[in-house]
Each structure stands twice: as C-alpha cells, then as structure tokens.
Structure 1
Amino acid sequence: MEITIQKVLDALKYVDDPDLKKDLVTLNMIKDVAVDGKNISFTVVLTTPACPMKDMIHNACMNAILHYVDKEAKVKINMTATVTTKKGKDETTLRDVKNIIAVASGKGGVGKSTIAANLAVGLARQGAKVGLVDADIYGPSQHIMFGMQNEGPGSAEFNGQKKMAPVVSHGVKLNSIGFLAGPNQPIALRGPMATKALSQLFYETVWGELDYLIVDLPPGTGDIQISLCSQVPVTGAVVVCTPQDVAISDARKGIALFQLEQVNVPILGLVENMAWFTPEELPENKYYIFGKDGVKHLAEELNVPLICQLPLVQSVREASDAGRPAVMQENTVQALAFMEMAQNVAQQVAIRNADLVEA
C-alpha cells in the first residue's frame, strides 16, 4: 500500500508531547514531511532546545511510523527547537527577547545568584540564546561568577541611539551594575535611583535575539521586585529556598508578592538549594544540615512545581569564585543536577506559554 504524507501525519497524531498533553500534529510541531517510496523524513520542532524528553519523543515518532504506516519504512527524523513565547512585540531593546525569567528568594544566603548563573549557562549549553541581568542592585555578584570582574559593557546602537553592549561569557550575554562600581565602592542608591538603575540595565542594553533573559533579583520583597514586574514583561519566576523553616517562611512572602493582583507573575517553580550536604570523599552520603524536604513540602502545599533539589557541594562555591559556573563541569553530580534544573525550567516556560496561547 502506498505511503502518503497524510498517512504519516495520521500516525504521528498518536504521539503526544509529554508536557503539553496534546499530539504533535495538533501542536503544529511536525514540519517538512517528505515521502519517497518507503523513505520517510520529517522534522519535529520541540518547544525548547533544553527538552529532556527529546529522545523519548524521537523514539515514539519512530515507533508510530513503523506501527501505523509501514514496518519496513526507512525513517529519518530531524529534531530541532523553537522556544515558545507569548510576549508582544515592542520597540525597546527587549523586543527580540522571548522569555524573561526572574530568579528570586525570600532571604539572602540561599544561593539565588548561584542558581541564576547556572540556570543561564545550563540553558545556553543546551542550545538556547540566553542573557542575564544582575538586578541585585545592592549586592551584584554575576560579574564575579562569570569571571568578568575586569570587563565592562561596550557601546552599541539601537534605533539611532547609543546604548550598552552586554558582556559575553560562557555563551551568556551579561550586564550588571557590578561592572559600573569598583570592588570597594558601595552602591548607595535610594528607592527611585535604584529603580532607575534597574530600568537602565534592561532598556539601555542591546540584547538582540534571546530565548531566555534570566534576572537575578535581590532577596526579599522590596522596590526592585515590584518595579521589575511593573516595567518588564516577566514570563515567570523561579523561587530559590533552602529547606530550613526560617528560609521557607520568607519564601512564602516572596511567592505571595508575585501572586498579588498588581504584580501577577506566574511561579514557574521552586528550587530547593542546599537540600543535603555530600562530602567529596563520601559521595553516597547525604547529611540534611538545613532540614529535609522543606521546599518539597512547600511546593506540594502551594501546588506549584518543584523544579529540583540541589546538594550543597564545596566545588559549586569554588566554581562560582573561579568565574566558571559548576554546570560546566564534566559529568559531576552537581553539573548534571544543574542541567536538569535548566531543562525543567524550560519545560515550565513552554507549558505556561502553551496555556496562554489556548486562553
């Protein structure tokens, strides 16, 4: 029996995207179907280059063709990705930024900046175009974590106006107020001035085309968080917390801020950082220094995704100090955990944008 393009499409209707819960044909993820005798080729356009289900979807498509079309067919599947977005177009320097992800925490000291840096590099290493804004106005650290202490933004032009060009490190476009202040210089900005500085980081930087712009927010629930959500089209927030009760209490307040009607930023999920301590010489041991599963229980209570649980490992701190985020390590437990974190955040962004399209 002759193989047709329609038969191929009908077969692929049996393959669902695991996150979006609909078949690939309905989701318009099947492109460039070609048939030549028993030779079949097509492209699957994933919603993110960081898709952890890539191999599973590939195998499901292959099995669908062999089962529903022809068991002797020779199938060639090209897997590619286009990051989804629901952000409207504008004429600012953010016009080609598809998704803006805020990384927040209720209190300091929970590893928020480390998470933001590893999230940005993790997404970039999986093929996405990524930028990072260090919006922690009073305690910027990303210029150190990316090894760019002695660098600074260059000059660029946008719509005939002079702007800043971001610094590029480890495949990530970066701007931070840390570039503009000396190592011993305090950043003494009151509310309105801090808000203006934040706005300049976003709108005076020529970001170009980005799939994700990560924002490292200061801890707490102050001016910067509120100003960000009123000035910038934030896709969603990732809240970082350790499992101890004091940190969780503050994380609740941070989550509640994003859920206020005048803020209204979706929570993409929670990251439990320092979930346990694993000594380098005892890699199988886990010591729950800050308590066990506190953020996991909070995620269940609030019905929001738990993005991941990350161990407290000395080399993560060492990597940050060395300007080379730990996600760049080769096949270490922490690097794999950070890569999984990046995949899970990308999944949540894709799910949210798909829901907005349907709405």
Structure 2
Amino acid sequence: MSKIVSIHSYRGGTGKSNLTANIATAIACQGNRVGIVDTDIQSPGIHVLFGLDEKQIELTLNEFLWGNCAIADAAYDVTYVLKNQTNPRSSIYLVPSSVKLNDISRILRERFDVELLLKGFKDLIENLKLDYLFIDTHPGLNQETLISLTTSDTVLLVLRPDQQDFQGTAVTVDVASKLQVPELLIMVNKALRDYDFQDLRKKVEQTYQIPVIGIIPESENLLRFASSGIFYLSYPNDPISLTLEVVATKIIS
C-alpha cells in the first residue's frame, strides 16, 4: 500500500527541501519506487538537487494544475542520481514546479482547483506504481499546505532550535491535530554541535508530545556541498547521512 509523506516547516530556511530530497532518496535506495511533488509553488527549487536544469523542464506541476497535461507527464525520472545503487526496483520521480516568474505570478493570482491536486497525487501513485509519495510543501500555512496535510499518511515537521520555529511549529501541530493527520513526526535541523542532543530531543518531545525521529547538526560538509546534489549519496558515511538513513527507516516502519 502506498504512503503519502508531507515534509513541512512553519518558517523558511529550515532546510526542508534538502531533507525531503535526501530522505526520499534514502527510502528509494531501500528498493522502493518514490515520487516527489514540489508544491512549494511560490519558491520552487528541489529540482536543482536532482540535477534537473531549467532547460530540461518542459512540463511542470503548474501545467497540470492549468489542465494542460496529466501529472504523470510532468514527472521526470531522476533515478540516475542513484548511480551505483544495485537494487533494480529503486526509482525516483520528481514533479517540479515552474521557476518562471510569469508562471508563479499566474498560479498565485488565479489559484487552482484543490480537488485536482488531490486527484493528481492519487493518479501519480497509480500511474508510476509508487510505494511512497513525498510532498515538499511551502513554509507556513496556506491552501497548498492544508491540502497536503489533509491527504498525508505521515507529516514530518522540520524545525530549527529557535524560539520562532518553536512557536510556529506549535501552530502547525495544532492544525495537523485538528485535521486528524494519522502520523505526526518531528525532525530538528541545524542544531549547533555543542548542544546536548539528548536534552534537546527531550525538550521538543515534551513540548509537542510528538516523537523526534532525527536531529541534524550544523555541518561544514553540508554547507560546503550546498545544493550541488544529494548529500546522502555523496557522503554515505557522514554522521548526517547515517541519521538520514535512520529517519528513512522509521518512516518506512
């Protein structure tokens, strides 16, 4: 049975898209067919991590929402990033949003059919025979986010150990609880290395009554690597990659 996972943060700058790409890749490496939809329509960018050049992208989520194509036609096979992975079933498909200013302005101005997006998620799962569909959401709470939360089996909330993030995440947790999201999880990103991670985990879990499935420290390797690819694949033995692997396993289980 397929599973829909939304990865969300209340504020921008948490590394949400980077985590989405890396966790989805880690799950694909375990022999799964994985899809990713970039619903961060206002500021898309996850395609960069998979090496998709703007010139290669003809159809996008925007075109699907305007009724110009089927959502599967806007799905790009980016399995090539796996390179030396040996499981023949492992695959990754990405539906990007348009980075063109006119397209972004139009989708924000005209909005779109909510039911069509929900149908698109289901069609993508069916047509590509996906085991997991990841939704990279727009930060904050808007129409797209609420749709994603409503349709998800799992919502992974990403926050930094910052007071504003703590307050914003509390709002998101409250909304998700009212929407009766089946599974809520938390991941802390960009934690300073001198933090007591065990104490930080305890504090976050006590605050939200939600399990923390991973804490990612600030990393020079990660900062230097930036958006040049999938960190999990390039640095498989890095402690961050090992944490990502644990997170992937917990989502699967």
Structure 2-normalised TM-score?
0.78
Q: Distance in 1 between matches of 2:204 and 2:158?
A: 12
Deviations 1:131-189 (A, max 9, x none): 1111111111111111112322679xxxxx96243112233110011xx333x557123
Aligned CA distance change for structure 1 residues 300 and 331 (closer, same or farther; 3 Å): same
1:168 aligns with 2:77: yes
Residue 194 of structure 2 is matched in structure 1 by 287
1:299 aligns with 2:205: yes
8 A Cα contact 2:4 2:132, kept in partner:
yes
1:332 aligns with 2:202: no
Which stretch has the larger CA shift, 326-335 or 313-322?
Answer: 313-322
Structure 2, unpaired ranges of 5+: 61-67, 82-90
What does residue range 1-359 of structure 1 map to in structure 2 within 5 Å? 85=1, 98-150=2-54, 151-152=56-57, 163=70, 164-165=72-73, 166-169=75-78, 170=81, 171-177=91-97, 180-182=98-100, 187-188=104-105, 189-190=107-108, 193-194=111-112, 198=117, 202=121, 205=124, 207-230=127-150, 233-260=151-178, 263-276=179-192, 286-288=193-195, 293-294=199-200, 296-322=202-228, 324-328=229-233, 329-347=235-253
The Cα shift of 1:202 comes to 3.1
Q: Distance in 2 between matches of 1:320 and 1:209?
A: 31
The residue identity in structure 2 corresponding to 1:338 is: L
Aligned CA distance change for structure 1 residues 344 and 219 (closer, same or farther; 3 Å): same
Q: Distance in 2 between matches of 1:194 and 1:296?
A: 41
Aligned CA distance change for structure 1 residues 257 and 239 (closer, same or farther; 3 Å): same
- Secondary structure of the residue that 1:133 maps to in structure 2? strand
Q: Distance in 2 between matches of 1:312 and 1:113?
A: 16
- Secondary structure of the residue that 1:115 maps to in structure 2? helix
Number of residue equivalences: 228
- Secondary structure of the residue that 1:190 maps to in structure 2? helix
* Identity percentage of aligned residues: 22
8 A Cα contact 1:131 1:210, kept in partner:
yes
Q: Distance in 2 between matches of 1:272 and 1:339?
A: 15
The residue identity in structure 1 corresponding to 2:184 is: L
Aligned CA distance change for structure 1 residues 109 and 308 (closer, same or farther; 3 Å): same
Q: Distance in 2 between matches of 1:303 and 1:167?
A: 38
Q: Could you say which structure has the larger radius of gyration?
A: 1
Structure with the higher fraction of residues in helix conformation? 2
Structure 1, unpaired ranges of 5+: 1-84, 86-97, 156-160, 277-285, 348-359
Aligned CA distance change for structure 1 residues 209 and 307 (closer, same or farther; 3 Å): same
Aligned CA distance change for structure 1 residues 296 and 326 (closer, same or farther; 3 Å): farther
Q: RCO (CA 8 Å, sep 6+): is it higher in 1 or 2?
A: 2
Deviations 1:213-265 (A, max 9, x none): 011111111111223345xx3212010001111111111111111111xx221
Deviations 1:23-50 (A, max 9, x none): xxxxxxxxxxxxxxxxxxxxxxxxxxxx
Moved over 4 A (4+): 194-201, 203-207, 291-296
- Secondary structure of the residue that 2:111 maps to in structure 1? helix
Residue 84 of structure 2 is matched in structure 1 by none
Q: Distance in 2 between matches of 1:274 and 1:181?
A: 27
The Cα shift of 1:319 comes to 3.6
Residue 74 of structure 1 is matched in structure 2 by none
For the aligned residues, what is the CA RMSD?
Answer: 2.9
Q: Distance in 2 between matches of 1:191 and 1:317?
A: 35
Structure 1-normalised TM-score?
0.57
8 A Cα contact 1:255 1:267, kept in partner:
no
